[in-house]
Structure 1
Amino acid sequence: MRRRTPRTALGAVFGGKGRLRSGRPLGSLGTTAVLVITLCLGAPAGQAAADGPANGDYCAGQCADILPPGANGSATLAEILANRVFGTQPAHADDELGPYDALSSGYPSLTDDTLTQFFNDSSFGVPDGQVASVTRPRDDVTITRDRKFGVPHVRGTTRYGTEFGAGYAAGQDRLWLIDLFRHIGRGELTSFAGGAAANQGLEQQFWPQAPYTEQDLQRQVDYIREHGGARGAQAMTDAQAYIDGLNAYRVKARYDRTFPGEYDLTGKIDPITNAGEIEPFRITDMIALASVVGSLFGGGGGGEVDAALSLLAAQQKYGVTDGTRIWESFRGRNDPEAVLTVHDGSSFPYAGRPDQPRGEALPDPGSVEAEPLVYDRTGSAEQGARHRKDPVGASAELKPLRGLFDRGVLPADLFSRQGDASAVKGMSNALLVSGAHTASGHPVAVFGPQTGYFAPQLLMMQELQGPGISAHGVSFAGIGMYVELGRGQDYAWSATTAAQDIIDTYAVRLCEPDGRAPTKQSTGYLYHGTCTPMEKLERTNSWKPTLADSTAAGSYRMQVLRTNYGIVTHRATVGGKPVAYTLLRSTYRHEADSIIGFQMLNDPSYVTDARTFEQAAAHINYTFNWFYADSRDIAYFNSGANPQRAPGVDPSFPVDAEPAYEWKDFDPTDNTAARTPDAQHPNSIDQDYYISWNNKQAEDYSAASFSFGAVHRADLLDERVRRLTRQGGVTRAALTRAMEDAALTDLRGERVLPALLKVLRSKPIDDPALGAAVQRLESWRDDGAQRRETSAGSHRYAHADAVRIMDAWWPKLVEAEFRPGLGDPLWNALTRDLTVDESPSASHGPTGGHAGSSFQYGWWGYVDKDIRKVLGEPVDGPLGTAYCGAGALDACRDALLTSLAEAAAEPATTVYPGDDSCDAGDQWCSDAIIQRPLGGIEHDPIQWQNRPTYQQVVEFPDHR
């Protein structure tokens, strides 16, 4: 899709200089633009056209959404105790979990009329008779909650009041969670919540990515104010009003003792005397929170050191020329068989392999060492968790809560990543069909983010109505001054993680200030010819036992070194000379700049059509795929602060830290640089349909990781939605059925097993046991290769044995197919770059156990290409050489049969070894989604489904 000229005057204002993109300041906004923005921000929300609905809601009851487990994410100490002893739930803590779960069995008979059995009506306001409560924290705002789910509907007569109400409602629903995440953002989780090993691991994993000082956080607030023009100033005013509302609730809850019970459990407040305090919130907390969210869901790239190591291993195995060619075939930067979101043939070149690479800084073999992070361990930090019988403050009445957080108040794998910073946990999908192919003639969309399953959720549902704001949807707790994903008056929007490459690794030459010869441990580096000291950033954390965390007292210090080219991650030699490898992210020091784009998405006077939606999304510097639907159009835009790299720089490998290889117009002061123009980001309006499941965006838009290959989980959506579109007459229910059908399907069984079976059946199978195993797999494939219950609530899979065989076989078959040909060094290097498997029960995988999201990362594309080559079938973009049986069909078949025999004989108790939630051998439970507790409340497991956490189903029949 080529960019179109904006129709509106305001769109024209923001089509050029006004947008907040690093290196393109907003301070240049003219007087007229500022006046227009100010007028728009002051316009009353919900103001409809003369013939439009009075409340500004044009969806006419055809918009719905769902966010398990429930809106209420706060529980008092008494409610936590009741949950642990009696299994009771606070009001609205889990009432969206049942409808969400039920779709897995109810979707085959779903109709438009029955959608609200599985989703919540997301119409604006609360109907008469459905009001559960009305709170007025100020005269200029009301917070109305509905009876069914308890969602806060915030309506303000002033903009300050609206934002104050949003913050107040956030305190009501997520006070403890917000407090947790601001401490994660500052690398202070263990000091705040206890020294459990999981808590230590989280802050050690996150803090090095954004090791900000308090001055750094404040500087980001000031940057938005100084460079954001009228919208930037308004955004920081809105943020302060939100913080004011959050603090107002904090004070009230502390006064009337309705604060979350986790403050008692972690020793912040004494449960007997009520002594203690909840620390006031500050606007810089918003930056710390945004840095967590941005790092989790809005980054892409990195991993250049691991990529260099696997390239060197390939070159050592095959020689430089063939090794590079074979490595590139696994890297698959522009795999011609990859499923695309923009499938109309449009090309958007970015981050590809240059014809003549310049400045590459590959390490000398064997020289790479990871930079240490942790120092000065004492107590339990050094010796692991030790437990005391009677933690501080324990009493007989509270025994059920002793040791509640010994394993951490947050799951150890909360921030689990595939390999490196280049890829985050699986998240989000989108299905949109244009009005030309629907029953009504209006577009239909089913979309949402997959942000993991937690209790309470990281996201918070809300409706905001006030001057310049009119939206319903979800926001990340603590930065919810605007709806981040949801619907406006006559449009809806959502996002999936894009993860294109906005991170580069630089090799900085080490030096000593006095001119001595540097070593690999030197802390000086050459910056534009001058030996410059690295900046040392430290965080010291200590803890003591509490009621719910009986981990023994301990402490340790984290240290990172910062350069003008980013954070030091490794040390090595390049050509015999010592270097430090540093990671530079384009959004570093700009964690909250995206607030401008979200402000626009909430402003009904700004987003009036698909083009103005694209312009709003372009102000978001996180790497997201944005999708839009109204009554006329569907649209797609890929956002992100894509740096303009120097000619010849290959972003897949480390590059010399020299001016010739820096980003264009790079200035380390605020980490600013020139960004690629918006028109060069993949974008489209009114394609026949769009699908996204964190897949490749468009032709020539190079992947930031190894995962965009011939088989991707997005194929499951693409095949189903393409079929629906060709048939025509698509409805909301039909598109939801397509989504859920894919959500229960095993990618390996649908997309790879057919080719594997061709190899196995290329000759008769003499062994009866193997023949029976193959027959089970064939029956499963023929029945859709799904992981679904025999009946609702049975907790047993149809084709259970075939599913067990596949789960046991896949890692064995991949190793049998590839390891002999690759050899151990290259096999080990490539499996560090891309994990072999990510099935629902793969608790060792990147998302951890019981996480829902599955099949994002794996070797299924490699297996598929290799097996088709062995079969003599066409392969577009094949691997550099054949691996299964060295390309011989009979030898390949023998390898597959041998590995299958081992898998078929493996008992369920070994395939599904059990954990704290499931007995060994319990296949359904091993897959099941469990809301990971971020506090004291727990919920029952639900059926696995590979589906967004928050999800909308929308079809607008009218437009302003």
Structure 2
Amino acid sequence: MRQRIPRFRVRSRSPEPARAAGVLAAAVALAAGLLAPLPQAAADPARAVADRTQAAAATADPCGGQCSDILPPGTNGSATLVEILGHRLFGTKPAHSDDQLKPYDALSAGYGSLTDATLDTYFRSASFGVPAGQVASVTRPRPDVTITRDKQHGVPHIKGSTRYGTEFGAGYAAGQDRLWLIDLFRHIGRGELTPFAGGAPANQGLEQSFWPQAPYTEEDLQKQVDYILNKQGARGKQAMEDAQAYVDGLNAYRVQAKKGRYFPGEYVLTGKVDAITNIGEIKPFKVTDLIALASVVGGLFGGGGGGEVESALSLLAAQKKYGVEEGTKVWESFRQRNDPETVQTVHDGSSFPYAEKPAKPRGAAMPDPGSVEREPLIFDRTGAAAQQTPAKDPVKAPAKLRKLQGMHDEGVLPEDLFTAKKGMSNALLVSGRHTASGNPVAVFGPQTGYFAPQLLMMQELDGPGIKARGVSFAGVGMYIQLGRGLDYSWSATSAGQDITDTYAVELCEPGGAAPTKQSTHYRHKGACVPMEKLEKTNAWKPSLADSTAAGSYRMQVFRTKWGIVTHRATVDGKPVAYTSLRSTYRHEADSIIGFQMFNDPGYVKDAASFQKAADHIGYAFNWFYADSRDIAYYNSGSNPVRAEGVDASFPVRAEDAYAWKDFEPEGNTAAYTPMSEHPQSVNQDYYISWNNKQADDYGAADFSFGSVHRGDLLDDRVRELIGDGKVTRASLTQAMAEAAVADLRGEQVLPELLKVLRSQPVTDPQLATAVQQLEAWKKAGTLRNQTAAGSKTYAHADAVRIMDAWWPLLVEAAFKPGLGDELYTALTGQLGVDEAPSAAHGPTGAHAGSAFQRGWWGYVDKDLRTILGQDVKGPLARTYCGGGELAACRDALLATLAQAAAKPATEVYPGDEHCKAGDQWCADAIVHRAVGGITHQPIQWQNRPTYQQVVEFPSRR
């Protein structure tokens, strides 16, 4: 692997106007008569260690007060209409809705002086139970369950005397904290967001991007319930009993909240319930809703693979440019299937071959040039179009309330939530051999995006066969999905290994006529069979929260035995439909078995049993484990056993000879690789993961696993830390926190860029100044941090601005002349050039936090090192910058640097609804995207998990 100098430094929708006006008037009256500014929880950034010790002792907790976590903005994700109005009118917020935001924000400035004793300034106790003096409320929705909430953050601690009561309590608490969000996501899971939340363009785009991935009918959803119940043994039956109890608890709260008028105010604002009469319905939840919700969660974070049609097109572009043999070499060098310089989680040399390039590929179904057409989603073969009605005049309301009318005009969630590449979580674990205490230390967590309320919810579950504390995705919280058990803790990152393939089904006509690309029949086992047509017609009306026009449209997909149709083309002149087949399709909730095991203290007792539990999870995740003795890693996923010679990077023919082993299309089952073939390890010196490559020879449909990856920001720092053998919770947190404000391009690629620029004297005064600014930033660590806490001004602001402006310019100048327009466009379509913090990219759009996940940093790094005459393992097939000539490359870099340096901040950071043009800090800043009526102020950019644990177990059961 490439050797680098360590850089880590530990520093000591409206109804008709009259009706809408009446509702708003009533709301204002409610606010005037009932609302005083709501008290906010007092800031308590330094919870006394004594309280943590008391909590640990009270529950005989093996973590001994050394388990901490945090989940911004806060536990409470529900607000009544009165609370929403109070927020809009007076700026008040419900208790515990944002009390974890400030300590989370503060770490970016305070990590340099962090010690174990001051961790409580930035994290919160994750000990079991609630000390007697910290009890805020006790709720008993049934005689066999108690929900105790603590004063500090309002976390529900659910203790049941029966299994049913425990799960009932989990559902009830979920209703208290996330009822609106759960309702929202069950509608997304069914492709019915716009009728529920309004027809804003982003809402339309979101349901259009998700529904084709999982276009289930109610029968499909019920079949998945039945499969778990009947095919997964005793644990499957228990899982469905737990799910039903959870739904019962959720419904019990739904009924009580509706009757008592303390349900979320968004139901009024979207026209579901009348604010005056209370007439309206919050529809009951059912177990099939949980399957729909699970498909959303899995689609967001647990998928992998796909994109084979796009890969085929870029390969064809390379072959067109260079010829078949040379073009294939060029394409493979950009594909980076097994780059020897890339950072890996398992770094002990272990090999786990999967989805590799076969020596003799067979079955490929490459499209004829120019023949590919994407399958339309919104269309009517008879020519009917979506119907739109004009928007009504906006309702007149007090100025502070007018924002309610446009609350969801931009959509409740980003349009590209499912189409954008995922994988933002990270993990750092150090073996006890390298820690001060001799016990392992872990700092890890998922990055699920910044939303208000958060997609995750905190809870503690304590009942027969269940003991765990942590977070669960709202609506599927029967079990803790990431957190800690009795004497162990676990977390995950998105893995992204290839579990999705593309097949080319041969089209036909039932009467024997010549097929076209638009034919809706295909050949299967010698017969010409019809595609299954699935349709969804959605209509919406304006409401107080969404003032967009009323309208409707119809979505349509075709389903085959080989998956969902995504494209049409010709292969060797014959019409085909390309289909996408995911191994977890029709099995969205099967992973419930693994999560059940994680929560069972009778099952998980050590690293080995944890890995076995993780093997029951079908989604593509990297799992990490820590207890008082061991750290461990396991990569989960239903990895299909592919036919010999099939190249998973490209479409293959839909024939038995190229199908997954033992493929059964009716239930989408197949043979999957055994546990022994999944990347795994116990007690490696350390583990890091930031969605990087897992191990040698392990395949992913990802072009980004090259010599520079975001994981290097963690790997370099942890490798340096373990050298002294005295790693602590604080020092490992510092490593994570510094990486969280580091600019990957600056840390890993700027040194080579400067070497090229300094290969001759820079004589132009303006360019010399720009180079000096970049060099000063490099010397300071290329961090994007503030001059002082709360200053909202970056140190080395000009250098940061220059890099943000320069990177896309230099990449194009270095590569486009050599690749040509067509190939450059194809390759940048597969791997974006840049993901700077201020860019409007990723699963939450701009202000997303997550950055530097995928980009051309590795390509630039290898190209420049080759030109500089340095050692490069796995180089690109050709050199590109300046045609491979150092002087010409330098000229290209200087020319683009001049352009970048001349760009004013107002152009580099053009501003948006949150920021003025030119405000660099704000352009980077994290904004929690409002999914309901409560909003929050921007916080300092941090490339960091949203939920995060810091753990060190001193003992075990």
Aligned to 1:73: 77
1:428-452 CA-to-partner distances (Å, cap 9, x unmatched) read 0000000000000000000000000
- Give 3-state SS (helix, strand or coil) of 1:829's partner: helix
Question: Structure 1 residue 329 and structure 2 residue 326: aligned?
Answer: no
1:588-636 CA-to-partner distances (Å, cap 9, x unmatched) read 0000000000000000010000000000000000100000000000000
In the superposition, the TM-score normalised over structure 2's length comes to: 0.93
Which letter does structure 2 place at the counterpart of 1:230? A
Whether the 8 Å contact between 2:462 and 2:468 is mirrored in structure 1 is: yes
Aligned to 2:945: 948
Question: Structure 1 residue 210 and structure 2 residue 214: aligned?
Answer: yes
Q: Distance in 2 between matches of 1:601 and 1:144?
A: 23
> Which among 507, 510, 529 is matched to residue 507 of structure 2?
510
Whether the 8 Å contact between 2:387 and 2:553 is mirrored in structure 1 is: no
- Give 3-state SS (helix, strand or coil) of 1:129's partner: helix
> Which among 306, 310, 329 is matched to residue 310 of structure 2?
306
1:806-840 CA-to-partner distances (Å, cap 9, x unmatched) read 00000000000000000000000001100000010
Which letter does structure 1 place at the counterpart of 2:619? Y
Aligned to 1:428: 425
Taking a change above 3 Å as real, the CA distance of residues 352 and 66 of structure 1, as seen in their structure-2 partners, is same
Taking a change above 3 Å as real, the CA distance of residues 372 and 441 of structure 1, as seen in their structure-2 partners, is same
- Give 3-state SS (helix, strand or coil) of 2:141's partner: strand
Which letter does structure 2 place at the counterpart of 1:138? R
- CA apart distance, 1:778: 0.5
- CA apart distance, 1:415: 3.1
Aligned to 2:175: 171
Aligned to 1:358: 362
> Which among 517, 520, 532 is matched to residue 517 of structure 2?
520
Which letter does structure 2 place at the counterpart of 1:692? S
Question: Structure 1 residue 348 and structure 2 residue 345: aligned?
Answer: no
Question: Structure 1 residue 886 and structure 2 residue 883: aligned?
Answer: yes
Q: Distance in 2 between matches of 1:852 and 1:383?
A: 38
> Which among 410, 415, 433 is matched to residue 413 of structure 2?
410
- Give 3-state SS (helix, strand or coil) of 2:773's partner: helix
Q: Distance in 2 between matches of 1:406 and 1:338?
A: 43
Aligned to 1:251: 255
> Which among 772, 792, 795 is matched to residue 792 of structure 2?
795
Whether the 8 Å contact between 2:88 and 2:401 is mirrored in structure 1 is: no
- CA apart distance, 1:405: 1.5
Query: Equivalent residues in 2 for 1:222-237 (5 A)?
Result: 222-237=226-241
Question: Structure 1 residue 219 and structure 2 residue 216: aligned?
Answer: no
Aligned to 2:62: 58
- CA apart distance, 1:376: 5.5
Which letter does structure 1 place at the counterpart of 2:923? S
Whether the 8 Å contact between 1:376 and 1:556 is mirrored in structure 2 is: no
Whether the 8 Å contact between 1:834 and 1:857 is mirrored in structure 2 is: yes
- CA apart distance, 1:864: 0.1
Which letter does structure 2 place at the counterpart of 1:793? G
Q: Distance in 2 between matches of 1:383 and 1:905?
A: 48
- CA apart distance, 1:385: 9.5
Q: CA RMSD in A?
A: 1.7
- CA apart distance, 1:271: 1.5
> Which among 888, 894, 898 is matched to residue 895 of structure 2?
898
Q: Distance in 2 between matches of 1:397 and 1:316?
A: 59
Aligned to 1:490: 487
Whether the 8 Å contact between 1:143 and 1:169 is mirrored in structure 2 is: yes
Which letter does structure 2 place at the counterpart of 1:545? P
Q: Distance in 2 between matches of 1:543 and 1:520?
A: 33
Aligned to 1:472: 469
- CA apart distance, 1:272: 2.1
Aligned to 1:696: 693
Taking a change above 3 Å as real, the CA distance of residues 872 and 933 of structure 1, as seen in their structure-2 partners, is same
Question: Structure 1 residue 297 and structure 2 residue 322: aligned?
Answer: no
Taking a change above 3 Å as real, the CA distance of residues 369 and 686 of structure 1, as seen in their structure-2 partners, is same
Aligned to 2:907: 910
Q: Distance in 2 between matches of 1:848 and 1:300?
A: 21
Question: Structure 1 residue 680 and structure 2 residue 684: aligned?
Answer: no
> Which among 485, 497, 501 is matched to residue 500 of structure 1?
497
Q: Distance in 2 between matches of 1:587 and 1:872?
A: 46
Aligned to 1:828: 825
Query: Equivalent residues in 2 for 1:143-158 (5 A)?
Result: 143-158=147-162
- CA apart distance, 1:545: 1.1
Q: Distance in 2 between matches of 1:375 and 1:389?
A: 30
- CA apart distance, 1:377: 12
Taking a change above 3 Å as real, the CA distance of residues 381 and 141 of structure 1, as seen in their structure-2 partners, is farther
- Give 3-state SS (helix, strand or coil) of 2:792's partner: coil
Whether the 8 Å contact between 1:65 and 1:121 is mirrored in structure 2 is: yes
- CA apart distance, 1:426: 3.7
Q: Distance in 1 between matches of 2:195 and 2:622?
A: 36
Aligned to 1:104: 108
- CA apart distance, 1:489: 0.8
- CA apart distance, 1:58: 0.6
- CA apart distance, 1:81: 1.2
> Which among 870, 875, 879 is matched to residue 872 of structure 2?
875
1:245-287 CA-to-partner distances (Å, cap 9, x unmatched) read 0000000000000000000000000112211010000000000
Which letter does structure 1 place at the counterpart of 2:518? Q
- Give 3-state SS (helix, strand or coil) of 1:310's partner: helix
Q: Distance in 2 between matches of 1:177 and 1:377?
A: 36
Which letter does structure 1 place at the counterpart of 2:161? T
> Which among 385, 400, 404 is matched to residue 401 of structure 1?
404
Taking a change above 3 Å as real, the CA distance of residues 822 and 281 of structure 1, as seen in their structure-2 partners, is same
Gaps of 5+ in 1: 1-51, 418-423
Whether the 8 Å contact between 1:475 and 1:482 is mirrored in structure 2 is: yes
- CA apart distance, 1:727: 1.4
- Give 3-state SS (helix, strand or coil) of 1:804's partner: helix
Aligned to 2:576: 579
Which letter does structure 1 place at the counterpart of 2:113? S
- Give 3-state SS (helix, strand or coil) of 2:749's partner: helix
- CA apart distance, 1:425: 2.7
% identical equivalent positions: 73
Question: Structure 1 residue 120 and structure 2 residue 124: aligned?
Answer: yes
- Give 3-state SS (helix, strand or coil) of 2:469's partner: strand
Which letter does structure 2 place at the counterpart of 1:670? G
- CA apart distance, 1:291: 0.3
- Give 3-state SS (helix, strand or coil) of 1:445's partner: strand
- CA apart distance, 1:959: 0.9
Taking a change above 3 Å as real, the CA distance of residues 397 and 763 of structure 1, as seen in their structure-2 partners, is closer
Taking a change above 3 Å as real, the CA distance of residues 384 and 727 of structure 1, as seen in their structure-2 partners, is farther
Taking a change above 3 Å as real, the CA distance of residues 385 and 408 of structure 1, as seen in their structure-2 partners, is farther
Gaps of 5+ in 2: 1-55
- Give 3-state SS (helix, strand or coil) of 2:300's partner: helix
- Give 3-state SS (helix, strand or coil) of 2:720's partner: helix
- Give 3-state SS (helix, strand or coil) of 1:479's partner: coil
Q: Distance in 2 between matches of 1:757 and 1:377?
A: 57
Q: Distance in 2 between matches of 1:711 and 1:844?
A: 20
Aligned to 2:4: none
- CA apart distance, 1:382: 5.2
Question: Structure 1 residue 763 and structure 2 residue 760: aligned?
Answer: yes
Whether the 8 Å contact between 1:371 and 1:570 is mirrored in structure 2 is: yes
- CA apart distance, 1:411: 2.9
In the superposition, the TM-score normalised over structure 1's length comes to: 0.93
- Give 3-state SS (helix, strand or coil) of 2:132's partner: coil
- Give 3-state SS (helix, strand or coil) of 1:816's partner: helix
- CA apart distance, 1:404: 1.8
Q: How many residue pairs end up in the alignment?
A: 902
Aligned to 1:739: 736
Q: Distance in 2 between matches of 1:473 and 1:274?
A: 35
- Give 3-state SS (helix, strand or coil) of 1:549's partner: coil
Q: Distance in 2 between matches of 1:529 and 1:86?
A: 69
- CA apart distance, 1:57: 1.9
Taking a change above 3 Å as real, the CA distance of residues 377 and 90 of structure 1, as seen in their structure-2 partners, is farther
Question: Structure 1 residue 440 and structure 2 residue 437: aligned?
Answer: yes
- Give 3-state SS (helix, strand or coil) of 1:540's partner: strand
Taking a change above 3 Å as real, the CA distance of residues 959 and 846 of structure 1, as seen in their structure-2 partners, is closer
Whether the 8 Å contact between 1:780 and 1:802 is mirrored in structure 2 is: yes
Whether the 8 Å contact between 1:416 and 1:848 is mirrored in structure 2 is: no
Whether the 8 Å contact between 2:450 and 2:844 is mirrored in structure 1 is: no
